[in-house]
Amino acid sequence: MKKYQYKNSRGQDVGYVENNTYFTMRNMKHGEIFMKKRVFNGKEINNPIAIDLDILEDLYEKEVKNIEVTITGVEKLSFVKRIPVEIVMLKGENILFDKRNKQGQNVTGFGKQVVFSYDWGVETGQKRL
């Protein structure tokens, strides 16, 4: 499988696929993971993070097996877990995070997201970045 890059709904580079695994990184200090919120659509999810629904569906269609998430900004080391795409598809919660102004225009551009737990993965170790 060739290596290719993914952009989110706001045009930011958010990850890439290589060797049947989607690699992505979330920085705790920049608010890229949920720090306080734990309940989504009435379902409690510990250590929640989100991925664009469009990206997740594309990964599933292309039969990418795993999502490898690296969490930075916690300590000097980062934390890495590998989560099967199928588990995220089955257990994740679909959420629309967009906010609109009085004219009905989308002001955030987040689009539909799937919230899943970092704990659903298998720890692959720690890295020094």
Q: Is the pLDDT of residue 31 over 80?
A: no
Supply 101's token pair: 């102004």
**pLDDT for res 107:** 52
Residue 67 burial (CB count, 10 A): 26
Average pLDDT, the chain: 84
**pLDDT for res 64:** 94
| Cβ neighbours for 23, distance < 8 A, ≥ 6 positions apart | 15, 16, 17, 68, 70
Q: Is the pLDDT of residue 102 over 80?
A: no
**pLDDT for res 121:** 86
Assess contact for 111 and 53: CB atoms under 8 A: yes
Helix or strand (DSSP H, E) at 13? strand 13-18
pLDDT tens track for 2-11: 788 998 877 8
pLDDT tens track for 38-87: 888 889 998 899 998 889 999 999 999 999 999 887 777 788 899 999 99
**pLDDT for res 82:** 94
Q: Residue 67's domain spans which residues?
A: 4-128
Give the chain's domain count: 1
Q: Which residue has the higher pLDDT, 3 or 31?
A: 3
